[in-house]
A and B are shown apart, each in its own frame.
Chain A
């Protein structure tokens, strides 16, 4: 009988799990049961504290349940049990008030010490400003002239099921945060719009990003590697699509990387000035514009430009996108206060803004024929 049941259960399991296994890669550990130990001393401490709590809770739970099941088995009427008549004992009541209290103290002391260590973000080696916005992260290295946005890199086709899902489905970004190993990295965490939460389980760092306020957290990573996390606070429609990837490099490699980035970003600024003098053709502008649109705008205004009625306005046929060009550029540069529309002045180059404005004014039947150039954006920026 037992064997048949076992067979049935294993067959059922095989049937249930087959389709999912088919499109997941072998590298992924399925059925992970427990919290990660992580890669920092703090995360290891958190894991140990978690296990201490878990074991104490299991012991308490087991004690209660065993007592319950003993009495359910032996003290049942069908076994002829006669009810006892006791219903009070001050001694027992005091005992099961005081003993749990002592157990709580045993838990509280190590928890307090660990917490005090975790919250001590003083004397960092480097500082990174982490800013959340719907639905991407921005990293700014406070000690170097380097800053950039980090967005989810998973293709829309993988989410909709048109493409097979990759190994790091939903946990991959275009530009990961890079930090050195063995150094104390402080994160200053804030937000441009709603509350987000920056969470990397391997570091045991989870810090809410509150608009208008700056929180801090820190980590010191022991092993080089790639560590993945996600936004942990509901932040609107694409909350589930706001991953975090951190690459920890040896300090020498990190120094090389950061100076390269510094040079690249300076070069890009020079390049942007140079591009001001150049004009795009309509086809070029539409091609670049479509890419920029799908990466930055389509999450809210939708790939077809129709938006989400009552939530995000349509661009298709809208007054601003078909007539009022200065207003259109102004919204791109400054956003709209009191709405989810962000400022893109920092996020995109002037030629990208020019291209996406051109795209929005000519796609989906908005055939205005308007061609906006980088220098128009520049004069709008400087005209203010």
Chain B
């Protein structure tokens, strides 16, 4: 805050240079940085590297499943791959990418110079690489890494796991601490650092959705920490939280895990809703339809997310009354989610649309996320869930909402704001290749999973019966193609970071509105040293 009051400069460009002098050179800049943009960049690159590592594991999985029989890996290693793929993609790719976007964008969007707690910001990023170093190193130790699925159901993760479980537990603790710090920072920033006139109902939807997400994070990450701690003590210190022989209950683990896990699902999608709500109006050249209802829908989804957790557990033998309650509550979530989709379509309706790369990703998001959402509605119906549960139908569902949902929204966001970050337009040709290759391959990859799931293929198996062979081959081909398509993105990002490309205007996109489009491109080191006034 002192920077804002000390500064008497009005020329943004001059400010920019003035502050560049204080940046230490080389690696120290990144280690010591307290700047929201530097930390945002670190988060985004970290997430992308994790995306590639987790993706490489998915390639191992798909290579093994290319044809029936065991060809490449043994089943124990296969289980490690599915487990660590899930953990890395959830905690290493999607969540840090959203935190990176929050760091970059929230101060610019609300007219603040930086995040409210810059040193904690530095700390919350720099503990992350260590968490994943610990997790990944366990793969190389005797007995291997975690092999019990990213959901680590007890007692497979307690009595029946290897000693590497301790490393998994500590890694998750560190990831949780990082997320909580990131969330606190977002909340404090939004509550205290909005520019004059930036009232609650004027905040961009990305800021709104992140604010709600941050509250979800603070509510549930401690629950996850509790779950892993109980796993740790059950395994190493003789407690019996999840062991019936000592008076515990393995199903209680699932209740605790999913009480974290379901809000976690929305943690990974609410910021995506925010991103799409920023992009669609820009390229439709028309204000977002139903802004207020979007805010209320986001809040309703967040509240409902606390009372639906047991829909992941319909086959565990719950009483009928509980199954009915969780079925009805889950079905209710489709109402606010539907409102969001309808609002986006209404925003596009009678707009004046152009289809730049961020818009392409955003439209793909709406279509493919809706498919994932509708299969989610099918999964909510308990009697049919008995057939869907733990099959590839579920795998298809959550990859549609996570890959073509969360990940596509992140890519849309990167393409949308990248010119603002670098000051240069990215390579549009490569970006279009990236979009179309990803779009086609991702559907070859995930759509047939619905079919093999309905035909009866369980998830998390390294080998399968012969009737699933042909679809699995197509799924693997789609998988390899999707993996390769991301290398196009890598090339594009490296070019962008080298500041190649044509310079862009402040507004970058013709229809873009919001504070971040009023400052120069590239955005100055401290976005707003004197707070702008929002009318």
Contacts and interface: CB of A to CB of B under 8 A. Distances in A.
Contacts of A68: 345, 348, 363, 366-367
Interface stretch (B29-37, B302-310, B460-468): B460-468
B391 interface: yes
B226 interface: no
B345 A64 contact: yes
A118 B470 contact: no
B458 interface: yes
Which bracket fits the contact residues of B? 35 or more
Interface stretch (B3-11, B152-160, B418-426, B498-506): B152-160
Contact of A107 (B331, B345, B371, B466): B331
Nearest to B469: A20
Nearest to B371: A61
B387 A311 contact: no
B281 to A, nearest CB: 9
A309 B286 CA distance: 62
A81 B462 CA distance: 53
Interface string A182-207: 00000001000111010101001111
Contacts of A235: 156
Contact of A234 (B288, B375, B451, B460): B460
Given A33-B454, A104-B332, A171 B465 contact: yes
Nearest to B67: A20
A244 to B, nearest CB: 11
A240 B75 contact: yes
A231 interface: yes
Interface string B339-367: 10110011111111111000000010011
Contact of B477 (A16, A34, A160, A167): A16
B275 to A, nearest CB: 18
Contacts of A61: 370-371, 374
Contacts of B149: 234
A237 to B, nearest CB: 5
Nearest to B378: A53
Contact of B143 (A206, A211, A310): A310
Contact of A49 (B160, B323, B353, B383): B383
Given A211-B155, A232-B389, A308 B76 contact: yes
A92 interface: yes
Interface stretch (B87-95, B179-187, B211-219, B312-320): B312-320
B449 to A, nearest CB: 12
B386 interface: yes
B19 to A, nearest CB: 38
A208 B256 CA distance: 17
A241 to B, nearest CB: 7
A233 interface: yes
Interface string B45-76: 00000000000000000000001111100011
A86 B350 CA distance: 9
A230 B455 CA distance: 12
Given A161-B71, A309-B142, A28 B467 contact: yes
A119 B177 CA distance: 42
B25 to A, nearest CB: 44
Interface string B367-384: 100110011011001111
B388 to A, nearest CB: 8
Interface residues of A, number: 109
Contact of A46 (B315, B332, B386): B386
Contacts of A118: 383, 386
Nearest to A66: B345
A85 B286 contact: yes
Given A108-B328, A234-B148, A77 B463 contact: no
Interface string B271-282: 000000000000
B87 to A, nearest CB: 14
Interface in B154-169: 155-156, 159-160, 162-164
A96 B334 CA distance: 11
B351 A84 contact: yes
B487 to A, nearest CB: 23
Interface stretch (B104-112, B201-209, B243-251, B429-437): B243-251
B350 A71 contact: yes
Contacts of B471: 31
Contacts of B382: 111, 115
A339 B348 CA distance: 59
A46 B285 CA distance: 46
A236 B147 CA distance: 7
Contact of B351 (A33, A75, A158): A75
Nearest to A70: B349
Given A77-B354, A100-B334, A193-B155, A211 B244 contact: yes
B451 A87 contact: no
Contacts of A323: none
B135 interface: no
A215 B320 CA distance: 12
B284 interface: yes
Contacts of B389: 206, 232
Interface in A59-95: 60-61, 64-65, 67-68, 71-72, 75-78, 81-89, 92-93
A101 interface: yes
A17 interface: yes
B363 A30 contact: no
B300 to A, nearest CB: 10
Contacts of A53: 377-378, 381, 384
Contact of A197 (B291, B328, B363, B390): B390
A239 interface: yes
19 contacts: A31-B471, A33-B455, A46-B387, A71-B351, A77-B352, A81-B350, A81-B352, A81-B353, A86-B350, A87-B288, A87-B290, A88-B290, A89-B289, A96-B339, A119-B320, A160-B69, A194-B153, A207-B315, A233-B315
Interface of B: 67-71, 75-76, 79, 141-144, 147-149, 153, 155-156, 159-160, 162-164, 243-245, 249-251, 284-293, 315-317, 320, 323-324, 327-328, 331-332, 334-335, 338-339, 341-342, 345-355, 363, 366-367, 370-371, 374-375, 377-378, 381-384, 386-387, 389-391, 451, 454-456, 458-467, 469-471, 473-474, 477
Given A53-B384, A81-B350, A161-B69, 10 more contacts: A50-B384, A61-B374, A64-B341, A71-B353, A72-B353, A81-B352, A89-B289, A165-B466, A240-B461, A311-B76
Closest 8 pairs (CB-CB, A-B): A310-B143, A212-B244, A240-B461, A215-B317, A310-B142, A32-B455, A57-B374, A84-B350
